[in-house]
Amino acid sequence: SSVAIAIILPSLFAIILVLLVLIVKAQHFGDWKTRQGVEHPDTLTAVHALCVICLEEFDDAAQIRGLGCLHVFHQECLDDWFGRWNEYCPLCHRPIIQG
| CATH class belonging to 2-83 | alpha beta
In sequence order, the 6+-apart residues with CB closer than 8 A to the CB of 52 are 71, 73, 90, 91
Per-residue pLDDT band for 9 (boundaries 50, 70, 90) equals low
The predicted-structure confidence for 21-70, as pLDDT tens digits, reads as follows 777 889 999 898 888 776 666 666 655 678 999 999 999 899 999 998 88
Q: Report the side by side order of strands in the sheet with 26-28.
A: 26-28, 63-66, 72-74
State whether the Cα torsion 71-75-80-83 is positive or negative: positive
> pTM for the full model?
0.73
Q: Are 52 and 63 in contact (CB under 8 A)?
A: no
Which whole number is the average pLDDT over 72-97? 91
